[in-house]
Structure 1
Amino acid sequence: MTHHRNTPSEPGVPAVFATLVTDNEEWLVHRILFYARELGYSQYASAQMEAWRASICGLSGPLVAAIRRGDPIAYPTVDEAPEASPVAAFGVAEARLHRTRGVSLPLFLGLMKHYRRSYHGLVDECGGPRNNAPNGSGPLLSLEEALACHAYIDRFFDRVELAFCSEWTSQDHSHQLEELRDRNRRLTSEKNKFLTMVESSPLPVLFITADGVVDHRNGAARRSFGNPPKDRWPHPEDIALLTAPDHPRKTDQILPTVRGDRHFVVRTLAMADLSDQFSGTLIICDDVTLEKDVERRLRDSEHTLRSMTDAAMDGIIMIDGQGQIRFWNRAAQTIFGYEEKEVLGARVDDLLAAPDTKAQANGSLLVFLKDGKTPVPDRAMEMEARHKDGRRIPIELSVGPVDLEGHHHAVGVVRDITEKKEAQIRLTQAQKAEALGNLAGGIAHDFNNMLLPIIGLTELTREDLPEDHPGRTRLGFVLEAAHRAADLVKRILAFSRKDTPEKRPVLFGDVLARAEELLRSTLPSTIHLVTAYDCLGGQILADPAQLQAVIMNLASNARDAMAGRPGTLTLSLSEQSPPEGAPKGKGASATETARPWFRLRVVDTGHGMDAATLVRVFDPFFTTKDVGLGTGLGLSMVQGVVAAHGGVVRATSAPGEGATFDVYLPRLVDNPPSYEQAGKGAPI
């Protein structure tokens, strides 16, 4: 509130009151609004803010003018005309104005009562014991001045109300009737405008009164819901809900119509009268059945597409014109290790491993952005991608363009060809081994045929010589060399798999025991032999001699890897489930497929092998030893013998970390007692 101090212009009424009224009109507006809300006119008060402000300005003007010209505002005499004083003239003008607005006399007098209270409140704020003057400066109006202002306000409003009532009652009844007719015509015109707008709406519109009666429905509502009794909404049980003042403004509902149940978005608006009392609900219904059906079909289509793509074994990726990933199926997650939420929005070239592949992808992307066509051949491309864990994976990629809403996109189908590459390597090795085996097998047979007469004739000649003949010793050397050659022939035949092994049930523990005995007597003292056998009682179907040769060859390979320095050779035997890639017999039962396997593990602490060497470790005639120190047939023979026994062999190594060879062989179900346990011994 604004405060001023001035000198009085006439006895008893200080001029500062005129200034206070002028400077505090906004305060008066809010005070009259407060009184209006007390009367229950909150909607009228909030909607007609400017009208209240105009009324305050209209009252304050004559009041301030009367104060400044020193008008005592005396009460009128009997024969005085209503317009005799400016204040009375203002009351007459207000009566004529309010009649045209349709304001009744009781309403006006009630409002004037609260106007009067507002101006009295202004005086109370600025004078007397309840003064709110700032800084403790004391009241702006003394008690005598405040009392004089209160009396002046009462005379002012009494004079305005007397003039208002006099003018109001001076009108004859015919004039009032004409005003009512004119007002009724205006209301009818406004109602017709409203009904025209409602009837022309393509949406069903209804009005339900506070007691649940459908008071009006437009043409669209009648066409949709028919014309049921007025006390029935399409869902009668919803009447109480829809007519509640706090009902949600927007809901989705299934409503019965003349065409069956339809999906509607129902919007409601609570209506109130001038006293702000709830009078009913305006309901607007929007039939969204087609939209909901389209949304449902779209969801079903997306679900079907997602189900189909997630069932695919190949990764399916869609990118937009900026190279950002927009779709990612479950197989792509398996191939690359990233979940969909991790890659959506990321650039697809971030998944490529090789720099040249990235450059090629970026170049293709620029052309694709230009014309929307993928500049790739129709065949699939092979490249390397990067897994989430950092390793490189070979993939096969085929790309095709797709246009979505006028924007260029591309769909790529990605296939992990790691197993394909490994199979190609194994096939190449097998073909090389087969070719070399055929060659070696043919040579071995011919060589074996040549050895037979050499050994036979040498033995006959040696037998014909006397015991003390010096030729017997020389012929013994010839036989020894011939037998070594025959042993080499057997190894070559084993490598070529043309020598059928003599298989019989053998306790793996017995074979290991004899191999361990040989190793402890032949290994150099710098190599420490460690054994760890978890299952010595199991048996396998094998050729004992060939199985022992496998162990000795693996141990010999480990010895050579640790040559010249101390090391440890570890032999372990355990039971394992069938390894990945294990051969399965034709028509094998579930029991046979699930039976345990033996795993013979040979571990050394040698210099290890790099990836390039590890790939070729089983290649025949491949060796890393110096010329004359190795033939490259030892590990090839191991692989051939193990494969002939229905097993598999795996090798793992890294430079400086030694090497590990795992030999997997199927275990027999029955376990007869060992030869040693029977006291007979086992010829090996």
Structure 2
Amino acid sequence: MRRKIFLSLSILLALFALGMLVSFLYTKTFFVVTFALTSLIAVLIARYLINAIIYPVEELLKATRAVASGNFNYKMSYQDKTEFGEIAGSFNDMIAVLRDSNESIKNQQQQIVDNEWKFRILSEFAHDWEYWITEKGEILFISPSCERITGYTRDEFIKDPDIRNRIVYLQDKDLWESHVADFKPPRHEEEIEFRIVTKSGEIKWLSHVCAPIYENDVFLGRRVSNRDITDRKRLEEQLMHSQRLESIGTLAGGIAHDFNNILTAITGYGHILKMKAKEDNPSKAYIEQILASAERAADLTQSLLVFSRKQTSSPEPVKLKGIIENVKRVLQRLVGENIELRTEISGEELIAMADSDQIEQVLVNLCTNARDAMPEGGVLAIRMKRVSGDKMHKAIGREQEALSIEHGKGYAEISIIDTGTGMDEKTRERIFDPFFTTKEVGKGTGLGLSMVYGIIKQHYGHISVESEEGKGTIFRIYLPLTEIAVSKDIRAAEEAKAITGGAETILLAEDEETVRKLTRVVLEEYGYTVIEAGDGQEAISKFMENKDRIDLFLSDIIMPRMNGREAYERIKKIKPKLKVLFASGYPSDFTHKNEILVAGLDFIAKPVSPDNLLKKVREVLDKS
């Protein structure tokens, strides 16, 4: 505005000076007229200059300052048909274009900010270790998860990208170097699996996926994603161990089946010789030795069945002291000479409702672990004593488990104590988890202690562990006690009863010839009439020929052509009230055994002594 006033005054002064000059040259009257006209012309000229030049220039100046300050909504109000008016219109159009461009730029900038925020959130919380690397080996980006997986920070990788090569496990170096040899691979993802050694020395498995980055056919580098698959690899390895164990178990079960058939013949004929021998016969002592050896062999087959995990749980009143004594005999050969084995058992006879085979399996598993924890030797102790429910409640200390303890009930506390390497707290928390193991690959499946835990729970018992690194481990097992008489004592009393025979006719179906002949001899010795069949199909044929006189169907379960259960179902349709007794020594038959017992039918397990067979046959025949 000051410029505008200054310019106007300058023009007026110039005109005034011109007027003074003219008045000096002419007369005074003429001077007055001339001065007045000159002043009027000067005012008109000044007004024109202000409106035509100064005002539009000033408006344009305001507009440029407004746009320069970022006000893209400013609009010049000046309008006329002169060049200034055209400039004002063009300027307004330009501002409109700039305004639209500025809005677009702002939107794009906001989108970039949003995308950057999203990318940062994703990268910071990404579980996989991601990075981008140039052909020169420069890392342009790396996710924070690199530290969780490798132990090295982002800054360490960016400062020294070669860390990614150095951490590769020695045995996987060739695979890695072959993979990175050609830095410009084809335009598709490549995936390899290899191990690394973390900063702390831990070995981890990685699934490594990478692909080239191109822009307009220009190679920029590689994008890489590394996933920690250590747990998956461990589970795969444990699964393979479990499958191998299952195969061994199946083999053990098959061996047990063959053993049972052989032992049935040995014990059967041995018992016949014993029955026929007179009391003063010197051979009777040898026969008893044969039968004792056969009984030990039968125990061996039971151990094989326990190992194969195909022995069903059969809880009965058992003396725990006897179980520990049996385990001790096995352990003396198992633990080695550098480990001292001790047993400390109270004088009181403790009886529990338990499956003796499974409890033996529990003790053997725990003692085997104790042995493995003492590679340099040590002391392994097994202790047993009676404790009250109240004392056990305090010993357990875990709220949920303590709730199921009967305070007034007696419990047997069996402790397995070793002086081995012990465990840290983290290991103790997972010790009973399936597939968890601290042993080297190939030396453990991680199933032993989980199986121990399951067996103890099935027996309504409890198990606890105390351990400290370098100070050994104590496992404590608590089993509820019972006042019921021991089953073996009951069986001994039953065995003392006289054996009686009969005159009934028995249809015998057995595919093993030696067992079939033995069974026939035993049954005929006691007055029974026996009709033999080598399989289920033959049994049906023999039944059709003699159906009116057959009183009992004695059958093996698994046989060629047709199994015993199927043969019985067909026979039952013809003679519904026919009595049946199934027998088997094969582990997988125990599934059928459960079905048979549920159906109210009778079953006897091989190997079976002639006395027990005769008593069971008489029992079934005498049922109403």
Question: What's the TM-score bracket when you normalise by the shorter of the two chains?
Answer: 0.3 to 0.5
Larger radius of gyration: 1
The normalised TM-score by structure 1 is 0.43
Higher relative contact order (CA 8 A, sep 6+): 2
